[in-house]
Structure 1
Amino acid sequence: MNLSAVLPMLLVLSAGGLIALQAPTNVMLARAGGSPILAALISFAVGTATLLAVALASGSRPAAAPFVGLPWYAWMGGVYGAIYVAIAAYAAPRIGLASLITIGIAGQIVMAMWLDHVGALGLARHAVSPARVGGAVLVILGVVLVRRG
């Protein structure tokens, strides 16, 4: 394994654990406020405040100019995140956290393989291979096992 990849992989592993924590905390917000949309709004407001504090503490002061020429879809990441957070707050108490996470990962794998394959959104191209398809199938089988378990 490439040692330069170890830290990013550990960070992603930790972030994955935080995603598992995010859903039940947002369920608590949804129950209190009566809406998964309100829960997502609160979650994003707290996240925005956190990122603002970290950005200010780090001394990051980007200029507006580099962002002006970006295509409209470069601004959509927050929309995707908001949709996921609202759906997770709705679905977690209905299907369980393990099912939510495994089904979500299956969706991420399928989308990521397509994005890699076509080199979408400026990503380097990584062709779909039998090994990658096999890995995706194993993840989907994992979803089935978690749902039946």
Structure 2
Amino acid sequence: MQASRKLIFIMPLVALCSGALLALMIKLNSQLALYSSPLWASWIAHGIGAVTVLLMLFLLWSWRRLKGVKFTSYVASPLLPLPWWAYLGGIPGAITVVLAAITVNSELALAGTLALMLMGQLIFSCIFDCYGYFGVVKRRIQLREIIAMMMILLGAMLVIFAR
């Protein structure tokens, strides 16, 4: 029980760091796209990302082996039986990198791009929640969530149009 209480405080911090890294990634990829092309920037980003993840997996595997810790399924056998669509995450990821590299170098800039990306994430996650797509637990959208999305949309519009 104590570990789950710690996670309640740690997970929002992890998500915040993830958002900061997303902004950094988009900015760096858009800079690369300025000197090459959005497609080349995506290719480079995903290649370097794959090498980085492989290095992280190797380091985790080595550390666990050195410590004598029993391997968990994500380290010992990464290709567990999954639904076919679970392997397709790289497709929207690659398209996101390309589109973000294009829009960051437009009048939207980084803040406008991220604001609209956040809005897209919220809308589609609510649709997934309502209909239970991709194995998500079905749940009804609350009025407070709709109000929050409207406020975020207004904030995005302020970021984009109030320059």
The answer for the alignment partner of 2:86 in structure 1 is 74
Structure-2 separation of matches of 1:76 and 1:18: 22
**Residue type of the partner of 1:30?**
A
Mean Cα deviation higher: 86-95 or 55-64: 55-64
Residue equivalent to 1:83: 95
**1:99 maps to which residue?**
112
Q: Paired residue for 2:132?
A: 119
Structure 1: runs of 5+ lacking an equivalent: none
Q: Could you say which residue in structure 2 is the equivalent of 1:58?
A: 60
SS in 2 for 1:80: helix
- CA separation of 1:130/1:39 partners in 2, compared to 1, >3 Å: closer, same or farther? same
Q: Deviations over 1:43-98 (max 9, x none)?
A: 0101110101111111123154x23xx33211111101111011011110102101
2:25 matched to 1:13?
no
Pick which of 54-63 and 89-98 moved more.
Answer: 54-63
> Is 1:48 the equivalent of 2:63?
no
Taking the aligned partners of 1:5 and 1:116, their CA distance within structure 2 comes to: 21
- Structure 2 unaligned blocks of 5 or more: 62-74
Aligned residue for 1:128, secondary structure, equals coil
Structure 2 equivalent of residue 31 of structure 1: 34
Q: Report % sequence identity.
A: 27
Task: Decide whether aligned partners of structure 1 residues 4 and 24 sit closer, same or farther in structure 2, where only a CA change above 3 A counts.
Answer: closer
Taking structure 1 as reference, are residues 147 and 120 closer, same or farther at Cα in structure 2, changes over 3 Å only? same
Q: Which has the larger radius of gyration?
A: 2
Q: Give 2:122's aligned amino acid.
A: I
Note the aligned Cα RMSD (angstroms). Answer: 1.4
Q: Distance in 1 between matches of 2:22 and 2:58?
A: 24
Q: Structure 1 segments of 4 or more deviating over 3 A?
A: none
Count of aligned pairs between the two proteins: 144
